[in-house]
Amino acid sequence: MATFRRTDTPRLPGARLDVGAHDIVQRMLPCHETKHLVSTSRFSSDGSVVTLSQDILSDGSSGRADSSDSTLFDVFESDEFDRAYQQHSQTAHMGVLDPEYQTFTSQNGYGAVVYTVKDGTLVVSGDPLAAPEHFEPLLEELAQFRKKNRLKIAFMGVSETFAMYAQKRNWIPVRFGRERVLNPMTNKILSNQGAGKRMLAQNRRLLDPKREGISIGIYAPGINGIDRSMEVQLQVIYDQWRVERNCKKEKDLQTFVTVYDLFCRRNITFFLYTSDREGHVNGFAALRNVGAKNGFHLDPCIASPTAPRGITDLLIVTAMQLLRDSGVSYLCLGHEPFLDLGDMPNQDGLKARVARDMFHRVVDSAQLGGKRTYNNKFHPDESQSSELYVVLPGGSSLLRQAAAVMHVANIKIRRLLI
């Protein structure tokens, strides 16, 4: 484990970590020089694929692997999955840290998908980990696997690019939310533009040795090795936080919740953590690299029940400062559901009204507006915000597809109807 204590003065917005921390950030970012079938593509308005650039694996190989429904621990499959992940991963692929999710990898080098199975439906999390021109052959391979296991399909948390692909296939894309992204390079809190004054004053109090005396360290097990003692402390805080959250929201809907196995993918995750005067860890933020954005997704960001107020704010500001010093401009805070349902193309008025009514019930019960308020105080970069969609292929299994997506989102349908 590498631990870097703060060397800042109280005037800085967050804790300043030394040069070793910046090296960790650089090593955690995707290595573009050795990517497999690298390309940047999008769907044009007429449904055609526009390829902007393309490279190949440095050794010229195709990097093929057998199609697989194995978990992330199969070594041979994992090599191919890692290639696809490092190139195409986005925030919606957070399922790689959830034990309920699995992966499917193309035997022809087209990419991979992250998925879970609910209600007889294979629910894909995020876009397929593939270039857009490979969506079709990858999903055809996946269809063979689904047919063998008698599974329908639905998609959750996909981008506008995949939504356009879905419309081309006459599937149903429903806009439900967006990603909120901080840009450490231009963020107003770090740029002394008068934003977040109360937050910065709180950070200075926490870091002041004569007051709270909080220190911040960085734990990167994929780079510096595994520290079991540290992982036990982080896990205890996570478990305590989950218990407290579940108790507080026992009577409410807890939507869009991912339960993480914090240490199942050490090669793509590092942790910022806070310690008190006695060296006891009392908060942490996990940062997972997202290859498609050459940046990071921050989640969870939590504090122990006994931690002083403001620990999570301090962690987010420090994460921004670390990434800014490392030249990284993308830090995603996660998904933020809209307070209103997006358009439903090709759907009749009755279906749209029923869907909107159900969505409003979810919003009212889950109090999703609070997440927007929390995110806003860190001044997200709206130019990097991207819309998110649920995609349902429709047909006779439409209700099953919708139920599966709601199940994955932890929305209990029966409670919505009460």
Is 11 part of a structural domain of the chain? no
Are 189 and 284 in a shared domain? yes
pLDDT at 257: 63
Six-digit token string for 258? 């991912």
Mean pLDDT of 190-201: 87
pLDDT tier, 76 (very low <50, low <70, confident <90, very high otherwise): very low
Is 45 part of a structural domain of the chain? yes
pLDDT tier, 387 (very low <50, low <70, confident <90, very high otherwise): very high
Res 129 pLDDT > 70: yes
pLDDT tier, 47 (very low <50, low <70, confident <90, very high otherwise): very low
pLDDT at 342: 53
Are 162 and 299 in a shared domain? no
Rounded percentage of the chain residues whose pLDDT exceeds 70: 72
pLDDT tier, 336 (very low <50, low <70, confident <90, very high otherwise): confident
Mean pLDDT of 310-316: 97
3-state secondary structure of 336: strand
Are 243 and 304 in a shared domain? yes
Is 245 part of a structural domain of the chain? yes
Mean pLDDT of 289-314: 96
Give pTM, 2 decimals.
0.82
Structure-model confidence comparison of residues 138 and 250, the more confident one: 138
- Could you tell me the residue range of the domain that residue 76 belongs to? 32-176
At residue 298's C-alpha, the angle toward residues 180 and 110, to 5°, is 85
Alpha carbon distance 407, 253 (integer Å): 12
Length of the chain measured in residues: 418
pLDDT tier, 309 (very low <50, low <70, confident <90, very high otherwise): very high
Is 357 part of a structural domain of the chain? no
Domain boundary among 296, 329, 362: 329
Are 135 and 110 in a shared domain? yes
Are 129 and 160 in a shared domain? yes
Q: What is the CATH number of the domain that holds 205?
A: 3.40.630
Structure-model confidence comparison of residues 23 and 13, the more confident one: 23
pLDDT tier, 36 (very low <50, low <70, confident <90, very high otherwise): very low
Is 382 part of a structural domain of the chain? no
3-state secondary structure of 114: strand
Structure-model confidence comparison of residues 333 and 355, the more confident one: 333
The closest of 91, 355, 104, 309 to 202, measured between CA atoms, is 309
Give 353's contacts (C-beta < 8 A, 6+ positions apart).
Answer: none
Are 81 and 104 in a shared domain? yes
Mean pLDDT of 37-47: 39
Are 130 and 191 in a shared domain? no
pLDDT at 174: 85
- Cβ neighbours around 89 below 10 Å, total: 26
pLDDT in tens, 144-168: 999 999 999 999 999 999 999 999 9
Match 């490392």 to its residue by tokens. Answer: 326
Are 201 and 94 in a shared domain? no
Are 164 and 38 in a shared domain? yes
Q: How does strand 102-105 pair with strand 112-118?
A: antiparallel
CB burial readout 268-303, b (16+ within 10 A) else e: bbbbbbbbbeeeebbbbbbbbbbbbbebbbbbbbbb
The closest of 149, 134, 154, 123 to 38, measured between CA atoms, is 134
pLDDT tier, 19 (very low <50, low <70, confident <90, very high otherwise): low
How many domains is the chain partitioned into structurally?
2
Alpha carbon distance 128, 117 (integer Å): 16
pLDDT at 266: 94
The closest of 333, 330, 335 to 294, measured between CA atoms, is 330
Residue 155 sits at φ, ψ, to 5 deg, of -130, 140
CB burial readout 321-348, b (16+ within 10 A) else e: bbbbbbebbbbbbbbbbbeebbebeeee
pLDDT tier, 300 (very low <50, low <70, confident <90, very high otherwise): very high
In contact, 178 and 386? CB cutoff 8 Å: yes
Alpha carbon distance 141, 286 (integer Å): 33
Domain boundary among 279, 300, 329: 329
Are 310 and 197 in a shared domain? yes
Is 398 part of a structural domain of the chain? no
pLDDT in tens, 196-238: 899 999 999 999 999 999 999 999 999 999 999 999 999 999 9
Mean pLDDT of 405-409: 82
pLDDT tier, 345 (very low <50, low <70, confident <90, very high otherwise): low
pLDDT at 118: 94
Mean pLDDT of 375-381: 95
Is 248 part of a structural domain of the chain? yes
On the question of a cis peptide bond just before residue 300, with omega within 30 degrees of 0, the verdict is: yes
3-state secondary structure of 316: helix
Are 211 and 159 in a shared domain? no
Domain boundary among 329, 362, 394: 329
**At what angle are helices 311-325 and 197-207 packed, to 10 degrees?**
100
Task: Return the beta strands (E) in 258-315 as ranges.
Answer: 269-275, 281-290, 295-303
pLDDT at 69: 40
Mean pLDDT of 8-25: 67
Structure-model confidence comparison of residues 246 and 383, the more confident one: 383
pLDDT at 56: 29
Res 377 pLDDT > 90: yes
Six-digit token string for 299? 């989640």
The closest of 178, 187, 208 to 320, measured between CA atoms, is 187
Are 143 and 209 in a shared domain? no
Up-side HSE of residue 258: CA atoms within 13 Å toward CB? 24
Is 204 part of a structural domain of the chain? yes
pLDDT at 35: 37
The region, left, alpha or beta by phi > 0 then psi within -120 to 50, assigned to residue 351 is alpha
Residue 267, exposed/middle/buried by CB under 10 A (0-12, 13-18, 19+)?
middle
